Amino acid sequence: MYKATVNITLRKSILDPQGKAAHNALKNLGLNEVNQVRIGKLIELDIDADNKEEAHKVAETACSKLLANEVMEDFEIEIHEN
């Protein structure tokens, strides 16, 4: 029915050591144009729902109750029709 794409990233105020390590490696590759790297997670959900709004609600509940930890993470949801 609907596909939700969830992007989870560390909150902006939190140092992302994985991103920093990858950034340093990119600099070693000579890619000095890259100013910052932040690494997060992408989660896809297939959702049965009657409409987009409902699918969004389901995804939001899934994120706030389990998929993301809002003490340290932000999430963004995109809903696509399948």
- Please, what is the minimum distance in Å from the beta carbon of residue 13 to other proteins? 8
Which residues are 9's β-sheet partners? 74
Amino acid at 17: P
Q: Which of 17, 27, 51, 78 binds other proteins (CB under 8 A)?
A: 17
Q: Judged by CB under 8 A, which of 1, 31, 34, 72 binds other proteins?
A: 72
Helix/strand/coil for 27: helix
Q: In this structure, which amino acid lies at residue 82?
A: N
Tokens of 67: 């998929």
Q: Which residues contact other proteins (rule: CB under 8 A)? A: 10, 14-15, 17-18, 21, 66-67, 69, 71-72
